[in-house]
Amino acid sequence: MKTTDTPIKSISIKRYLAEKGIYPAKEYSGYGMYNSPLRDELHPSFKVDHKANLWYDFGSGEGGSIIDLVMKMQNCSDKQAIKLLKEKADFPLTVKTAFSPEPESVGRMKLIRLEQFLPPHLESYLRERGISRELSAEYLTAVYYRVNGREYSALGFRNDEGGFELRSSQFQGCYPPKAITTLDCNTTTCNLFEGFMDFLSYLTLYPMKEKSLPSESAVVLNGTGNLKKAIPFLSKHTKIYAYLDNDKSGKEAVQKLQNLKLPVTDCSNMYAGHNDLNDFLQQMIRQKPAQIIPKTRRMKL
């Protein structure tokens, strides 16, 4: 749907911020809390009401529609803000679907350097999430970036187009371009994950040490908005096991694949009662350290 056919104010603030590599530090039912994109801060005080599609900055006492936000972020007039938004002819509205695109832009984020060794605060964050140093060394890197003159670091998971998904205890975002990550092991089986923490959690739960079991291909969507990009790769496989989040977006994504007649099995029942596979892993570690799920349990859903 074109923005010229709908009110400019209906353009999703959440998606607009995602284009800038800005994601909520905390997500609640109906709204998200962000580190303010208008100033530097360590604790999120910028609220986006996803239902009303309005924002409010508790630090400055300002708020409003997406037009007001663009005026603040771009330091421009309301007419200029509307013009900028109209130029995004196919930008998604507030209605969310499993295939909604996630445009990307570097915005104010500048990549400084990449390092193989993780700083202590990122190692601590991984331990809290139940991910080993061995796995992080194989799949992750430390990404150092600058925003408004201040330097930050986050875990970086590279995607197929050279961008990075970024995670730390204080930040969740990306360094564009935003894309899927595929790991092609040339097998008929493919595992599907929403984020890289779920992928690493799977490798923790299923260490694949059994010599009789071949490695399996995998796709990390880096957000369900990228699902459409994964279909060509998924279509090459005769078995697809989906380990997506236990929420509306995850269920819609699985349903979309099933509607396309792809051989997908929804494995989210394995971690029912948990938001995602990493939440499940963390609980298992708290209950019984070093407990590993037998590989065969996946087939008994």
Residue 225 — very low, low, confident or very high, per pLDDT cuts 50/70/90?
confident
Lowest mean pLDDT among 44-58, 227-241, 258-272: 44-58
Per the model's pLDDT, the better-predicted residue between 262 and 299 turns out to be: 262
pLDDT at 175 over 70: yes
DSSP single-letter state for residue 119: P
What integer is the mean pLDDT of 84-103?
48
Residue 130 is predicted with a pLDDT of 93
Residue 106 — very low, low, confident or very high, per pLDDT cuts 50/70/90?
very low
Alpha helices in 54-139 (DSSP H): 66-74, 78-86, 120-129, 133-139
For each of the domains in the chain, give its residue range(s) and CATH number, in order of start: 3-86 (3.90.580.10), 109-175 (no CATH), 181-299 (3.40.1360.10)
pLDDT at 19 over 80: no
Per the model's pLDDT, the better-predicted residue between 158 and 176 turns out to be: 158
Contact 239, 265 (CB under 8 A): yes
What integer is the mean pLDDT of 31-56?
86
Per-residue pLDDT of 119-157, as tens digits, reads 999 999 999 999 998 889 999 999 999 887 889 999 999
Residue 288 — very low, low, confident or very high, per pLDDT cuts 50/70/90?
low
pLDDT at 100 over 60: no
**What is the side-by-side order of every strand in the sheet holding 217-220?**
181-183, 217-220, 189-193, 239-243, 264-266
Which residue, 135, 132, 153, is CA-closest to 144?
A: 153
Predicted TM-score (pTM) above 0.85: no
